[in-house]
Amino acid sequence: MPQILDGIRVRDEILGELKARVARLSAARRPPGLAALLAGSNPASEIYVRNKIRACDELGIASETLRLPETVSTAELVARIEQWNRRPEIDGILVQLPLPPQVDTPKVLLAVAPEKDVDGFHPCNLGNLMTARPGPRPCTPAGVIELLRRYRIPLAGRRAVVAGRSDIVGKPMAFLLLHEHSTVTICHSRTPDLAAVCRQADILVAAIGRPALLTRDHIKPGAVVIDVGINRLDRRADVERIFGGAPDRLAAFDRKGSVIVGDVDPLAAAACASAYTPVPGGVGPLTIAILMVNTTQSAERRLESC
């Protein structure tokens, strides 16, 4: 039986370890402060921000959320971020993506002061990542590395394949694996013979954004499979096809009208992998945990420099 890599358990470990650090900061000066900006009404973004608020409340991190309408302009978003940049009690700024289509997203992300960029998306921090200098790391890829470390899955000398090339997950994931001394290949939907490339992987990270795209043909027997994808299935026929008619998944679909699946065929992961992350309950919970880590580290750095 493959090992299931439980992201909920690791998230709880990380948050438990953070409580003492947050308490020390609160006793010494003030609690860490996190500000989140949400534009429009994307349901997935609403869930993420709600979970962020809950995690802040549990840890004692001061948080505030600014919700703006779908019609917001780039200039208004930049002005709000610049206000947060000037406030000393704000240690981290989160710009929830995606932003509405009329917004210049790169310009908005560039407006965040690098020292308050707890998402790790600013070019200064991506440069720190590439050159292995200290700084906040993008939350989802950093969560994957933390998950692998806590399950004592060796990375040095192993061949890792990252399926996906986004700035948020794919590219930073590749650099983090390189820093762990893995030999890394990045591939994507236009890679010739994608299955053959993926089958080379001892560590396969799927972040390509298509439901159950990677099948048994893509997984080397015994590989560790990390599924970053979160895709919503809205048709019962797709649930039956992907999950092999599993009664629990069909019952969940009938109850909710949709089911979440990753980028990896879940039956293939269970059959071929030595260890894998379930969806949901694998990588997803770690994103919030690392956001809390980055916010706490930002507060520690900023208060030490005062």
Is 83 catalytic? The answer is no
102 is catalytic: no
200 is catalytic: no
d(CA 278, CA 289): 17
From 173, 268, 266, 164, select the one nearest 209 (Cα to Cα).
Answer: 164
Q: Measuring CA to CA, how many Å separate 4 from each of 10, 169, 206, 216, 274?
A: 12, 21, 16, 17, 9
User: Per the residue annotation, which of 96, 116, 227, 297 is the catalytic one?
Assistant: 96
- Please list the alpha-helical segments (H only) found in the chain: 7-28, 43-59, 74-86, 105-111, 123-130, 139-150, 170-179, 194-198, 236-243, 247-256, 266-272, 284-304
| One-letter identity of residue 78 | V
Asked if the bond preceding 280 is cis, omega within 30° of 0, the reply is yes
Residue 163 has phi, psi (to 5 degrees) of -95, 100
Q: Which residues pair with 264 in a beta bridge?
A: 214
Looking up tokens 């650090």 gives 21
Per the omega criterion (within 30 degrees of 0), is the bond before 138 cis? no
Query: Are residues 214 and 163 in contact, defined by beta-carbon separation less than 8 angstroms?
Result: yes
Cα dist from 216 to 159, 198, 212, 238, 277, whole Å? 18, 10, 10, 18, 16
Q: 91, 116, 117, 119: which one is catalytic?
A: 119
Active-site residue list: 52, 96, 119
